[in-house]
Amino acid sequence: MTGLATATGTGSELSVDLLIVGAGPTGLYGAYYAGFRGMSVAVADALPAVGGQIAALYPEKLIYDVAGFPAVRGQDLVDRLTEQAWRWNPTYLLGHGVTRLDDTGEGIVATTDAGARVTAGAVLICGGIGNFIPRELPVGSEYLDRGLRYFVPRLNELAGQDVVVVGGGDSALDWALSLEPIASSVTLVHRRKQFRAHERSVEQVHASAVRILTPYEVEKVSGEGAISEVVVANSDGDRVSLPAQSVVAALGFIADLGPIEQWGLELRRRRILVDRTMRTNRERVFAAGDISDYDGKVSLISIGFGEAALAVNHIAALLDPARSITPGHSSDA
């Protein structure tokens, strides 16, 4: 592929300078930045909407570590990133999981499970943690969608309820803190005395009205038709009966890279190894965000933005050697 800004094709056949795999925050920022650098862009994602894990799992949760926002709701961040990218008119292939990447010598042909073929000068993989499956609560699975849930996309659905949150990581404490102002009661249950969550979150939970039960595990979930009671127990045999209309099981996820594992990429810790330019071991294939790995990697949304920009600048020079890796100032555009 020669030159930049050369999107062509209709229907299931498309030709662009850059294909971004993954429409989460890193992918959306990559789409904006690639447009700023003069590239035509397509963004493919297996999910039916942009936003990745943020939009699917916690659109109403506040995020505190994005530069320039003291706090920003997940969906608001996705909306602003989409608006930012919109200026450059990227093509979105939503509901399209990329299954194959084939080299052409001058580019990459990507095939999706929805029957599309995208010819691109380069590919930037921003797939987050890949496919994610929640770890199941050992008891009470029969109450799924009848009080038991693994995600809380809309906090108001639990307003006025007695809620039991199970888990000790960041998600569990975030849900407990987010629900505490609107729920009738919130009880946080964790099987260990120590939490895995960020220290600040732990401090906030202890200072809140959230009831904390550690080290306890859920022993029984019951109710006629829907959940009405949760019994938790500790290793000493002490049991506590809790009224509950909702149980939020925030026990983490099992990540599955899916087709990515078949693309001939060098992997480490189920992530794609990249060099300091975000290149993978495959020609013309780059990776950024949570799915990428290198020595000293820190997984933060803000770092993913920087990785996407770094990759795009090197892709720009790859597609057109006359282009500088140094982008100049956006205010000059």
**Residue numbering of the annotated binding site for FAD:** 26, 45, 53, 58, 98, 132, 290, 331
Listed residue (87, 90, 92) closest to 333, CA to CA: 87
Q: What is the DSSP string of 8-53?
A: B--TTEEEEEEEEE--SHHHHHHHHHHHHTT--EEEEESSSSTTHH
- E strands, 40-192, are 41-45, 62-63, 72-73, 91-94, 98-103, 108-112, 117-125, 131-134, 148-149, 162-166, 185-189
Neighbours of 3 (CB within 10 A): 14
Burial zone of 293 (CB within 10 Å; 0-12 exposed, 13-18 middle, 19+ buried)? middle
- Picking from 97, 98, 124, 83, the residue whose alpha carbon sits closest to that of residue 280 is 124
Q: What are phi and psi of 66, to 5 degrees?
A: -100, 125
* Binding site feature residues: 26, 45, 53, 58, 98, 132, 290, 331
Q: Which helix (H) or strand (E) holds 77?
A: helix 74-86
